[in-house]
Structure formats: C-alpha cells, structure tokens
Structure 1
Amino acid sequence: MNTSAGYVLFDVDGTLIDALDNQRRVWAAWAARHHLDPAEVYRVALRTRPSETFAAVAPALDPAQCLAEFHALEDEDVRSGMYSAFDGAAPLLRGLPAGSWALVTSNYEHRVRGRFSRTGLPLPEVIVDAAGVSEGKPSPVPYLLAAERLGAAPGNCLVVEDAPSGVEAGLRAGMTVWGVNTPLPVEGVHRHFASLREAAPSILAYATAQSIVN
C-alpha cells in the first residue's frame, strides 16, 4: 500500500527519456516517403498530435494510413534506435516510494516499456498512454486518470513536464506543475529546473517528506 501523501506524475519523452533526435528522425523518414519538407513537418509536429500534423501538412492523404506508417516507423525506432535517459532519471525513479508515481505519455505503453528496457529505467505500476484516454494533452484527462488509478487527489499530485501541452494539462487538472529540461520556464509552471538532475532532490522531497502513516 502506498503511504505517501505526495504523488508524482511524469511525462516521458523530453522529461525522463531523451528522444528528441529519435522523434526528429521518425518524422523525417515519414516526410521523405511523401516528398514533404522534413523541417516543416517537424515544426508542425512539435506543437500538435500526429493526426493533427497529418491534416496540416498532408490534407490529401489518408490519415489512417499516415498514422499506420508513422506507428511502424516509431516501433522500428524503439527496436533499433539509440536512446538515453536524462541524467539523474534512474536514481530518482528508484528512490520514489512504491505506488507514489506514474507515467503519463502521449505515446503508447509498448513503446514506453521498450524505451525503459533499453535505458534501464524502472517502471511504475501505473502508465497512462494514448490508447487509454479519449482526449490527449493539453486536456487534463490523462493526468486526472493517472491520479484516479493511484488513488490520489489532484491537489496531492506533482506533474513533471517539459512541454507546453503537458504543462497546460497538469494545470487544468488542478495539480502542481514543475518544468524540467528547458532553458527557460514554460508558461504556467510553479517551479522551473534547467535539468531533471537539478529537480530530482526536490521531486524526491515532495514524494517522501509528506509520508504519512495509514
């Protein structure tokens, strides 16, 4: 049973896993298949979900086929691409109390598991992925579902994010939101850290200093 009053909900890509180059390569490969400008496609992809990206950059293409192609490229990248965890991620996750943390990702659980296996990161009991929600970030739905599955009140949850859409999702869920791995604060965050390693002591303190006896 979890005895922590503080729960931590982590975004994955850009927060725990450094997948920026991988995402850029996957989008470039997809763009090349359709003779599109990779730089422009990636610029759009950075601020939209894949289905919205396809609609914006290739409205004449079948979105279902585009998504199938993109998923296949992502799956291949999980198998063969090079991944690394951000500095400090492994000891941070291993130091959190069991049942006190979750992953909330716009990706799919099988890819998250593959990337965590490749980088040696531990997995939590709760993973909320794109397949598990009807609305993705910046909707608060993914973070609210993670809190519900942990048995946590939103006000007792800390969201750790790097992207504006994730920050907005956490704020709309009524949670504390800390930003990491960006040189400047994302608008709205309650605290900003230039790196995950810098944030790790404060994240651990949030999850452990509020320990209670049930």
Structure 2
Amino acid sequence: MTTLTCRAIVFDMDGTLVDSTAVVERIWSDFAAEHDLDVVELLAFAHGRQTHDTVRRFLPRLPEGEARALTDGLQAVEAGGREGTVEIPGAGAFVASLPTDRVALVTSANLDLARSRMAEAGVPWPTVVLASEHVAVGKPAPDGYLLAAELLGVDPGEVVVFEDAAAGLEAARASGASVVVVGDHDGPAADGLPRVTGYDGVTVRVLDDGALELTLP
C-alpha cells in the first residue's frame, strides 16, 4: 500500500482515465501509410502529445497553414470515431468520489475530442479542464500542469498527477507534483514512481485540515 497526501488531483485523459488505444492507433496508422512514415516510430512519439506537435515532428517541411489544416482534420476524425473508447477500470467511480473543486483534467486532445471520449467512457467531466486549445506549449513541458494547479488554487507541490505516457510523466514531474503512473509504461520518466493498473482499490479520504489522503493498492 502507498499513501500520498495532497490538496488536489489532476489527471491526464488518454491511457489514464480512458482507453482509446484502438481508435488512436487506427487513425495514426492511416496517417503514417498516407505519408509513408514509420508507424511504430510515429505512435511512440504521438502518445501523450498534442496532435499538432506530432504533425510538425513528422512533416516538418509542411507549411504551417497546411499543418494546421491537417491537424484539424485528424482531430475531427478522432472526435467522430469515438466508438471503442472505454474507461480505465474504476476511473469513473474514482473521479466521482473526489471533491469536485479539487480535480482537474490536463489533456493533449482538443476540447471536443476530450468531451467525446470522456462521455463515451462514462467518466465524469471535471470542473477544471485544460485541453490543447488552452495550453500553448504541450507536454512534455509542464505548462498544463502548472496552470491546472493555479486554477485549483494550490501549489504544484500539493498536487498528485495520474499519468501514463512518457511525455506526460515528464511534464508532471517537471511541474513539481507528485506523480502516479497508470498502466505499464516503464521508461526513465516512470523510474521510482508509484504505479496502478486502474482505480479499483484506490481510495481517497478528506483529512481534518482539508487535505486529501490517497491510498494506492
């Protein structure tokens, strides 16, 4: 058992609260085939990052206007292809158990896509949500997590972040938050961090001073 004390909890979305692997891999595989790219390399980079950052990384010579249009098209396809998105085990019930003014979502997806996936998976929509439109510099930069802490009115060091991908784990660690790995990522960004496979058995208790005590199985 691992116990963490914090003032707020912040979640990534894909791979952390919802499992959209099948949808994401299908869309990026089609993109890789269309542009003659290595799909394994592309998927490894894309996970946890904003769509536009991936487009720029693999099509660096594309004019910015065309890259933006391509990004918008990919996001529209993702939002329309939500079928097959499911919750990470126990995610919906766990988020619902938390004080609503202590929870935020920081996702590299845009707002429409985030709403679509959270609804499809049945995970409650947090009070504070930061999507790609709200964060100029995406993960692995810590900007999204720093802004979430500010909006929740807490110091970043008083936050616990749940994340699953290297870019997000790097961002969360750089923000000064405590970090919990969701899933099986075992790269350097996950070294030394507590880990859960889902939220069944994860509990939260509000202490007398208002702090949150998280217990991880």
How high is the TM-score relative to the length of structure 2? 0.81
Q: 2:43: which partner in 1?
A: 42
Displacement after TM superposition at 1:111 (Å):
1.0
Superposition RMSD on alpha carbons, in Å?
2.7
Contact 1:180–1:199 (CA under 8 A) maintained in structure 2: no
Q: 2:140: which partner in 1?
A: 138
Instruction: Spell out, residue by residue over 1:130-182, the C-alpha distance to the aligned partner (whole angstroms, 9 max, x if none).
Output: 11122111212111100111111112111111112212212221111111111
Instruction: Name the stretch that deviates more: 183-192 or 100-109.
Output: 183-192
Structure 1: how far apart are the matches of 2:171 and 2:201? Answer: 20
**Residue of 206, 210, 213 corresponding to 1:212:** 210
Q: Indicate the structure with greater helix content.
A: 1
Q: 1:124: which partner in 2?
A: 126
Does 2:134 align with 1:103? no
Q: Do the aligned partners of residues 59 and 170 (structure 1) sit closer, same or farther apart at CA in structure 2, a change above 3 Å counting? A: closer
Q: Do the aligned partners of residues 21 and 10 (structure 1) sit closer, same or farther apart at CA in structure 2, a change above 3 Å counting? A: same
Structure 1 unaligned spans of 5+: none
Q: Do the aligned partners of residues 158 and 63 (structure 1) sit closer, same or farther apart at CA in structure 2, a change above 3 Å counting? A: same
Displacement after TM superposition at 1:29 (Å):
2.0
Q: 2:54: which partner in 1?
A: 53
Contact 1:126–1:149 (CA under 8 A) maintained in structure 2: yes
Structure 2: how far apart are the matches of 1:112 and 1:56? Answer: 22
Q: Do the aligned partners of residues 186 and 112 (structure 1) sit closer, same or farther apart at CA in structure 2, a change above 3 Å counting? A: farther
Aligned length: 206
Q: 2:180: which partner in 1?
A: 178
Give SS of 1:106's match: coil
Q: Residues 182-197 of structure 1 correspond to what in structure 2 (within 5 A)?
A: 182=184, 184=186, 187-188=189-190, 191-197=193-199
Give SS of 2:13's match: coil
Structure 2: how far apart are the matches of 1:47 and 1:110? Answer: 17
How high is the TM-score relative to the length of structure 1? 0.82
Structure 1: how far apart are the matches of 2:85 and 2:25? Answer: 13
Contact 1:18–1:86 (CA under 8 A) maintained in structure 2: yes
Q: Do the aligned partners of residues 195 and 78 (structure 1) sit closer, same or farther apart at CA in structure 2, a change above 3 Å counting? A: same
Instruction: Spell out, residue by residue over 1:104-153, the C-alpha distance to the aligned partner (whole angstroms, 9 max, x if none).
Output: 11111121111111122111110011111221112121111001111111
Structure 2 unaligned spans of 5+: 212-217
Give SS of 1:15's match: coil
Contact 1:141–1:173 (CA under 8 A) maintained in structure 2: yes
Q: Residues 157-168 of structure 1 correspond to what in structure 2 (within 5 A)?
A: 157-168=159-170
Q: Do the aligned partners of residues 74 and 211 (structure 1) sit closer, same or farther apart at CA in structure 2, a change above 3 Å counting? A: farther
Contact 2:51–2:75 (CA under 8 A) maintained in structure 1: no
Contact 2:16–2:182 (CA under 8 A) maintained in structure 1: yes
Q: 1:16: which partner in 2?
A: 17
Structure 2: how far apart are the matches of 1:8 and 1:182? Answer: 21
Give SS of 1:146's match: helix
Structure 2: how far apart are the matches of 1:180 and 1:42? Answer: 18
Structure 2: how far apart are the matches of 1:48 and 1:147? Answer: 20
Structure 1: how far apart are the matches of 2:61 and 2:141? Answer: 28
Contact 1:178–1:190 (CA under 8 A) maintained in structure 2: no
Does 2:155 align with 1:153? yes
Structure 2: how far apart are the matches of 1:175 and 1:210? Answer: 22
